[in-house]
Amino acid sequence: NIVFVAKEITDDETRVAASVETVKKIKSFGFDVVVEAGAGTLSRIPDSEFEAVGAAIGAFTDAASADVILKVRRPSESEISGYKTGAVVIAIMDPYGNDEAVAAMARAGLSTFAMELMPRITRAQSMDVLSSQANLAGYQAVIEAAAIYDRAMPMMMTAAGTIPAAKVFVMGAGVAGLQAIATARRLGAAVSATDVRPAAKEQVASLGAKFIAAEDDEFKAAETAGGYAKEMSADYQAKQAALVAEHIAKQDIVITTALIPGRPAPRLVSRAMLASMKPGAIAVDLAVERGGNIEGVVTGQVADVEGVKVVGFANMAGRVAASASALYAKNLVTFLETMVNKETKSVVLNLEDELIRATMLTYAGDVVHPAFGGAKK
Ligand code: NAD
């Protein structure tokens, strides 16, 4: 079998779907690996390093003979047209609201897998791209904020006077939010955080941050069986907004990370709230790709909204590309390994496997994922 590691064509994509370590691993399955020239450049992996562990360096046209294509982003129509029928394509597919793009992959006869649909069960923890990337995004959000904050983050008591610790408020305490809390704490900030899931309260406290939330009956029932947040009622959102409005006025830096699976991001910070913040305040919106938690956020930019610098960088994990690629590649190869028959040295799809069922979007010409209009075969 031939595994092709694609060079990403999306403008802001700095990551790559393989590392030196994972190429070695794929070779150990008995597969040949072709890496598209320059695929690792932005993640600081030169072609020569891939070559040194036995990969061939190729061109996009080599994708045509590949049995497995590893990518970061869903392939475009033009990329798809270069793949052979029956090829397995594994990537972050972003299928929600992109029915036509999913259908196009089905028409091309590709077996496609969306890494972000990986179930959050123990067996699949090492394949969880949402966690591996969100963790780095949470870290990087704090670094970006610190870089444009015109003050120091930690309290400094010097002979020339005292600098107060920055007040950082993290909204949404999932994987990204918890890492943002930890990172801001390491920089010496005074950190508070909010979430709608009651389980987050203890996690926030264990990181040494203060938990802020309207803890009513709806809050107590706000976590789904899968551990995700529910979309909250208008009544709860109003309560939460009142509490946040009061708290945010005293903050120097706000970092928002709130998401609800399959839904637009909840709007948590209004223009009026931004206007109430101190001069020089910073806000970072990690939910910008899903519509944003902050009113006025502009994708890909640092926008001045009501005197606050609002950071709207998409693909925050991609700004720590070398680290993000290393973890993403590891997630991918671990999943690929579950499909490998080591005797025949080939990929065999077990359609009954829980991980395959959860992530497979298209197969044998059809959209098969029930959440995207498919009926399971
Ligand atoms: P996410 O990216 O879907 O959302 C980020 C956070 O935003 C969540 O904590 C969510 O509760 C919060 N949020 C949603 N609406 C909000 C609102 N209106 N106000 C404030 N906060 C709001 O979540 P995630 O980071 O993927 O994590 C979700 C859960 O899954 C967490 O409990 C996490 O620990 C858990 N998890 C489990 C595993 C596993 O078991 N393998 C792996 C990763 C994460």
User: Ligand 1: which of 135, 206, 259, 355 to mutate, judged by most atoms within 8 Å of the beta carbon?
Assistant: 259
What per-residue confidence (pLDDT) applies to 85?
Answer: 97
Residue nearest to atom 23 of ligand 1 (CA): 174
Q: Which residues of the chain fall short of a pLDDT of 50?
A: 376-377
Q: How many residues does the chain have?
A: 377
Q: pTM of whole model > 0.90?
A: yes
Atom of ligand 1 nearest to the CA of 178: 25
Tokens 């009651």 -> residue: 198
Instruction: Report the amino acid identity of residue 351.
Output: L
* Ligand 1 near 258 CB (within 6 A): yes
The string of pLDDT tens digits covering residues 313-335 is: 999 999 999 999 999 999 999 99
Distance between CA atoms of 74 and 80, rounded to whole angstroms?
A: 9
- Choosing from 121, 125, 197 the residue with most ligand 1 atoms within 8 A of its CB, the one to mutate for a pocket test is 197
User: Over the chain, what is the mean pLDDT?
Assistant: 95
170 lines ligand 1 (CB under 6 A): no
Ligand 1: residue of 115, 122, 127, 175 to mutate (most ligand atoms within 8 A of CB) is: 175
**How high is the pLDDT of residue 215?**
87
Q: Establish whether residue 134 lines the binding site of ligand 1, counting it when its CB lies within 6 angstroms of any ligand atom.
A: yes
Find the 187 Cα to ligand 1 centroid distance in Å.
24
ipTM exceeding 0.90? yes
pLDDT value of position 376: 47
The radius of gyration of the chain from alpha carbons, rounded to an integer in Å, stands at 22
DSSP string, 108-177: TT-EEEEGGG---SGGGGGG-HHHHHHHHHHHHHHHHHHHH-SS-SS-EEETTEEEPPPEEEEE--SHHH
Question: For ligand 1, atom 27, which residue shows the shortest CA distance?
Answer: 174
Q: What are phi and psi of 166, to 5 degrees?
A: -70, 145
Question: What pLDDT shows up at residue 200?
Answer: 94
Question: What are the start-end ranges of the H helices in the chain?
Answer: 20-28, 47-52, 77-80, 99-107, 129-148, 175-186, 199-206, 217-220, 234-248, 271-275, 321-338, 354-359
Find the Cα–Cα–Cα–Cα dihedral 231, 235, 238, 240, rounded to 10°: -60
CA of 176 to the centre of ligand 1 (A): 8
Supply the pLDDT for residue 300. Answer: 96
Atom 34 (ligand 1): residue with closest C-alpha?
174
Q: Which tokens belong to 226?
A: 């899968």
Q: How many angstroms separate the CA atoms of 185 and 209, rounded?
A: 8
The pLDDT of residue 35: 98
pLDDT value at residue 46: 98
Ligand 1 geometric centre to CA of 18 (Å): 27
Report the catalytic residues: 120, 125, 128, 131, 228
Is any ligand 1 atom within 6 A of the Cβ of residue 173?
Answer: yes
